[in-house]
Structure 1
Amino acid sequence: MAEINRDDVAHLARLAHIDMYDDELDRMAGELAVIVDSVKSISEVAGDDVPATSHPIPLSNVFREDVVGATLTNEEALLGAPDNADGRFRVPAILDGE
């Protein structure tokens, strides 16, 4: 079994800014070890003749024509706004300065 211990999980949790209780760290160490072992066993089975894939079926982009449909006027869009100014939504400032 992969060697993932409680300290490894605690380190990963800190990096991800996730607060975890002691029992969660212990449980997650075991679960992550199983996941790592599963990926390892699949990697060992896949030979050079098996191409690496991220999806089981091929993906393709589906495009549609970019046609302008019915839209709101600026006045209609601002009609339900709690505050507006100069034809724009007015929101509280979140940055200091200019």
Structure 2
Amino acid sequence: MTELTKEELIHVADLAHLAITDEEAAAFTKHLAGIIQIADELTELNTENVVPMTHALELTNIMREDVPNDVLDREEMLKSVKEHKGGQIKVPTIL
């Protein structure tokens, strides 16, 4: 198991732009050492027949196929707009 020193923890906290006191560094070193120990224990597990997963839940796409169709007649739609030119709606300039 790799030991995490207080100096390494302070260095990592500095890289993450976290301000921690010496007392916090001492406490966090103990907590993180425990987490690293658990992670080391997990590496000892046999995962040879375990299928890799990308998500904790089985997700499927429930959306319908994207099939284009004519919902609104262009000429009918252009009757309801303020200005149009060449079959396209004219909108105010933003910039």
**TM-score, scaled relative to structure 1:** 0.54
Q: Distance in 1 between matches of 2:2 and 2:51?
A: 25
Shift of 1:54: 5.3
Shift of 1:87: 7.3
Q: Residues 62, 30 of structure 1: CA spacing in aligned structure 2 closer, same or farther, 3 A cutoff?
A: farther
Shift of 1:16: 0.3
SS at match of 1:45: coil
Q: Distance in 1 between matches of 2:3 and 2:46?
A: 23
- Give the corresponding residue for 1:56: 56
Deviating beyond 6 angstroms after TM superposition, the runs of 4 or more aligned structure 1 residues are none
Confirm or deny that 1:13 pairs with 2:16: no
Q: Distance in 2 between matches of 1:31 and 1:54?
A: 28
- For residues 17-56 of structure 1, give each alpha carbon's deviation from its aligned partner in whole angstroms, at most 9, with x where no partner exists: 0000001001111111111111111121142112344543
- List runs of 5+ in structure 2 lacking aligned partners: 65-92
Q: CA RMSD in A?
A: 2.5
**TM-score, scaled relative to structure 2:** 0.55
Q: Distance in 1 between matches of 2:16 and 2:34?
A: 21
Q: Residues 28, 48 of structure 1: CA spacing in aligned structure 2 closer, same or farther, 3 A cutoff?
A: same
Aligned residues: 67
- List runs of 5+ in structure 1 lacking aligned partners: 65-85, 89-98
Q: Distance in 1 between matches of 2:37 and 2:54?
A: 19
Amino acid at match of 1:58: E
- For residues 2-29 of structure 1, give each alpha carbon's deviation from its aligned partner in whole angstroms, at most 9, with x where no partner exists: 4001011000000000000001001111
Q: Which has the larger radius of gyration?
A: 2
